[in-house]
Structure 1
Amino acid sequence: MHLPFRVLIVLSLSGAWAVSGEVAVGVAKVDVTPTHPVLLAGYGHRVGEHQAVDAPLSARALAVGDADPVVLVAVENCGVPAPVVAEVRRRIAAQGGVDPSRLVVASTHTHNSPTLEGYAPLIWEGRDTPEQREHVAAYTKWLTDRLVEVAQAAVRDRKPSELSWGQGRATFGGNRRLMKDGKWMGFAFAEKAPVDHSFPALFARREGKLVAVWASYACHCTSAGSENRVGGDWAGFAATDVEQANPGATALITIGCGADVGPQPTGSLAFSRRHGRAVADEIARLATTPLKPLAAPTEVVHKAIELPLAKAPGRDHWEREARREGFEGRHAKRMLDQLDRDGKLPDVVPYEVAAWRFGPELAIVFLPGEVTVDYAVRIKREMDWTRIWINGWCNDIPGYIPSRRVLSEGGYESDFSQIYYGWPTRYDPAVEDLVVATAESLLGDAFKRTAATPEPDFFTVPEALVPSMKK
């Protein structure tokens, strides 16, 4: 099925430091641990505001480039909605010094962080109190301030640095979609289902000293389980471990296409620390290996598209569903309110794909939402994976972005999760081709697969690791 879509392309250049072999790099870090009781995101069965703090939360920023830098803000939060990102960009533009289109806000997707206004609205809608909503609004405003602050601080911190990158492996992620006789059964370790165990990492050094590292892994940030407590989960522990081992350095962690990949085993703070330690150890190992220098000008490209939804049910369906209890009933009432207000329900989801291109050496793709692993598998098989890095949970959190496989199998990521995010129905299977084609168009011919591109070896869980992932 071919569907037309509207495209907006933005292209900009920077990187005066490339001539001398050095790149202007700046970093910053701010604390974003809630200072008042607040509802947490990520799990629909929680009740009430958080009960304790297991570990502080941080937002970290990395700025790269001289006159017109790119800026990454990696925040320990479940998901930052587009309106918050837009406000951060607006304020940064007003203050000057940074092109807002060159800013990316990425979430680590820890499920032990405060929910934000606009994030997965049905998780708390109808179950919260006016006071709790005020607390969420206050935290959202405060976090927005901190994101602006940390981005600007990283820009001010820029100094000539040596920039390099490499790819290792992380191995604690396992596909969580348990299937039996072709039917989705729930969340469990699916040993034979796809994963992405690649582990890209970027390093910045000044006079030989590590000042910044940014690494990414395609796995849900849910090792700690669903206790109603604040913490950064494995991504937060990994960043802290790296920073403690390298005084003065700032470590940013982002998440790849891991929407259907979960940490194995899972369910305790001990597992969260263990998985964070595994990430920190791989970063330390990579730092000692030959890395590829990055000194080329940075190109930033964007395409705004619309992801088609399947045909939504009519009013009769929603009126019947509205009599139900729980999330389904509240979702149906929301759909009826939209029909009364707008006369229709949405049939597309706005979606912007972005990429940073460091010459022909590296292209970093940023995808909104909870992107399932098949997108990474397909793009990395069709393009030259040795020079490609893909992140999810960037610049918006419209919900899960299921692949054609996941849509055909059904289950949480393709269906029920749409209730949490307030959409009227599942996606049309055309979304996979649309997102992949858009990402590959941003990568361009320079990153096409060649005869010299080796076969990827990280899309399955090695059998030798399976026993340890079940403990």
Structure 2
Amino acid sequence: MKFCCVSENMTPEVPIFMHGFGARQLKSAGIHDPLYVKAAMLTANKTLLILTIDALGSDRSFVAGIKDALKEAFGLEYDEVLINFSHTHHSVFLTGLDSSSRRGGYSIAQDGWKDNDEELDYSADESLFRRIRDMIVQMTDYCRGNLIEGELSLGRGRSDFAVSRRRPDGDGVAWRPYYEGEIDKDLFVLKLTDRTGAVKGILYNYGCHSTAMGPDNMLLSNDFAGKTSRVLEIAYPEACALFLQGCAGELKPLKSADGDKFRSLSIAEMEEAGADLAADVVSVLENAAFRTIDGPFRTKLVDPLLYTEQTDASFYDDMANDPGSNAFYRSAAKRTMRAIHDGTVKDRLPHYISLWHLDDQTRLVAMEGEVSTEYSLLIKKWFGPLTTMTLGYTNGVYCYVPTRKMIGEGGYEANCNFFFNLRGPFVPEIEDIILGQIVQAEMALREKPAK
């Protein structure tokens, strides 16, 4: 086994309009902590590349642009690269050069939310894309030239860091702490050590929205995950720490729960939360039984379509025409109504699902979008005795991905598709599509000889 880890600062150098909270109307006012792109290259029978980016997410324009550049420069195939986003709400949503696969509705240069995409100038976004693309190519080239012999091992623990924000209220669900809700509390740690046993890389996988702070924070930040990684890199000074965001669609930091509601934490409180998660990771590193992973690596990427209901434009009338409603909601409703009328609205959405076999007993399932923790539980139940890590927010973040149960309950995660130029809520059968595709991918990999 050979590996290499590296990180680079990607923080925008000028004020930008952050994405993640519709209540914001102004550009960023400074920097609390740097935003990073980090890379971990793993080489056994084949080469895998994991990229983590401190951003809300990206569309297909960005992801395809990065993966095309890596394939052209190094021959890395789409299925051999994972791009995982921390989903911090104090950063940017990324797009690329291909306007046909752009999600739209947001630019880092905008000044407030717009009713029409034509009002947005994406030149600053495209410049940022070129900068990050070239940075990633350089980082990957560095990794290829600086691979070292060592060991990849996996440890597993549990953490109570997150809590569900979907509380049943008799008529559906309310946006309130649901302390009793079943969530995936697995905390996985992939540890990279050199031949002397020195820790060189820490890849920690846990699912929780990076929203300890709220819309009143105007400083660029990777929220709690930034603090967690900094603490780990101080504790293990030779290591690069990478946060692998899990399936966190409806999960928030428990520290932000205040009785029957959530509140926005101060910067100091957010950093306390990040340090708490770091302590959980250190506990795994120091106390868990680690198992060596040495391949063979097998990979598969599938891209099924997820379908929405055929919601009529009139459904959005009240929201679009209510001057007292949230400006972000109002703009999104107007864009959706216009798209339905002119035929540009989307009623189906491609959805990347990556399946990696790290060895015969270890699976990594990485899915596009804001995937519910319920999918994580369902996937792990299906894989049974195998060790299974689940990631959301990977290879793009277009919208929420709810389960059949969540769609039936309604609530924010099930009903906000109109934010993203989608015609309506997803049909319940998307759960069957997603789980079925994962099962088929697993069966195909079991039959496929490792290269």
TM-score range, shorter chain: 0.7 to 0.9
Distance in 1, Cα, partners of 2:360 & 2:275 = 32
Distance 1:86 1:445 in 2: 24
Pairing partner for 1:78 from 31, 47, 56:
56
* Aligned mates of 2:246, 2:137 — CA distance in 1: 24
Cα contact 1:37–1:135 (8 A) shared by 2: no
1:418 alignment counterpart: 417
Counterpart check, 1:37 vs 2:15: yes
Partner Cα distance (1:115, 1:302) in 2 = 23
2:134 maps to 145
Partner SS state of residue 72, structure 1: strand
CA displacement 1:137-172 (0-9 Å, x = unmatched) = 433433333333333333333221111101111111
Quick one: structure 1 residues 99 and 228, their matched pair in 2 at CA, closer, same or farther if it must change by over 3 Å? same
**Paired position in structure 1 for 2:76:** 98
SS of the counterpart of 1:262? Answer: strand
Match of 1:158 in 2: 147
Q: Contact 1:366–1:390 (CA<8 Å) still a contact in 2?
A: yes
1:39 and 1:115 in contact (8 A); partners too: no
Cα distance in structure 2, aligned partners of 1:150 and 1:35 = 20
Aligned to 2:331: 330
1:454 aligned partner:
none
Q: Which amino acid letter does the alignment assign opposite residue 177 of structure 1?
A: R
CA 1:221–1:329: 2 relative to 1, 3 Å? closer
What's 2:430 paired with?
431
Structure 1 residue aligned with 2:346: 346
Q: For the residues of structure 1 that align with 2:144 and 2:4, how far apart are their CA atoms?
A: 6
Identity of aligned residues (%): 20
Q: Report the 3-state secondary structure (helix = DSSP H, G, I; strand = E; otherwise coil) of the residue aligned with 1:300.
A: strand
Is the Cα–Cα contact under 8 Å of residues 364 and 388 in structure 1 kept in the other structure? yes
Counterpart in the other structure of 1:270: 268
Q: Residues 48 and 131 from structure 1, CA distance in 2 versus in 1: closer, same or farther, beyond 3 angstroms?
A: farther
Asked if residue 383 in structure 1 is aligned to residue 383 in structure 2, the reply is yes
For residue 67 of structure 1, report the CA deviation from its aligned partner: 6.7
Could you tell me how far 1:297 is from its partner in structure 2? 1.5
**1:368 CA drift (Å):** 0.4
Code of the residue aligned with 2:331 in structure 1: it is R
- 1:19 corresponding residue in structure 2: none
User: Is the Cα–Cα contact under 8 Å of residues 339 and 421 in structure 2 kept in the other structure?
Assistant: no
1:268, 1:420 → 2: CA distance?
28
Change (3 A) 1:340 1:181: closer
- Per-residue CA shift, 1:47-77, capped at 9, x if unaligned? 1110121111111101111574110001111
Q: Deviations over 1:187-209 (max 9, x none)?
A: x2111112111011101110211
Q: Which residue of structure 1 aligns with residue 229 of structure 2?
A: 239
How many residues are paired up?
A: 421
Deviations along 1:247-279, whole A, 9 cap, x unmatched?
221111011111101101222223322222222
* Cα gap change, 1:263 to 1:328, in 2 (>3 Å): closer
Q: TM-score, normalised by structure 1?
A: 0.83
State whether residues 188 and 205 of structure 2, in contact with CA within 8 Å, keep that contact through their aligned partners in structure 1: yes
Q: Could you tell me whether the CA contact under 8 Å between 1:368 and 1:398 is conserved in 2?
A: yes
Kindly indicate whether the alpha-carbon contact (under 8 Å) linking 2:213 and 2:267 is maintained by their aligned counterparts in 1: yes
Aligned letter for 1:352? Y
Code of the residue aligned with 2:163 in structure 1: it is G
- For 1:459, the equivalent position in structure 2 comes to none
Change (3 A) 1:37 1:255: same
What RMSD, in angstroms, separates the aligned Cα atoms of the two structures? 2.5
Task: For 2:425 and 2:315, locate their aligned partners in 1 and report how far apart those are by CA, in whole Å.
Answer: 15
Separation in 2, partners of 1:287, 1:376: 23
Matching residue's letter, 1:380: K
**1:69–1:155 CA contact under 8 A, matched in 2:** no
1:225 corresponds to: 214
Partner of 1:15: none
TM-aligned CA deviation for residue 232 of structure 1: 0.8
Query: In the superposition, relative to structure 1, how do residues 137 and 165 fare at CA in structure 2: closer, same or farther (>3 Å)?
Result: same
Distance of 1:258 and 1:93 partners within structure 2 = 30
Kindly provide the amino acid, as one letter, of the partner of residue 402 in structure 1: P
TM-superposed deviation, 1:409? 1.4
Distance between the aligned counterparts of 1:120 and 1:85, measured in 2? 15
The one-character-per-residue Cα deviations of 1:357-387 (angstroms, maximum 9, x if unpaired) are 0221211011000001110111112222651
Could you say which residue in structure 2 is the equivalent of 1:4? none
Aligned to 2:262: none
The unaligned stretches of length 5 or more in structure 1 are 1-22, 448-471
The answer (yes or no) to whether the contact 1:59–1:150 under 8 Å persists in 2 is no
Aligned residue type for 2:86: T
> Which sections of structure 2, spanning at least 5 residues, go unmatched?
96-101, 107-111, 257-264, 447-451
Partner SS state of residue 182, structure 2: coil
CA distance 1:221–1:446, shift in 2 (3 Å): same
Quote the Cα distance in structure 2 between the aligned partners of 1:328 and 1:210: 46
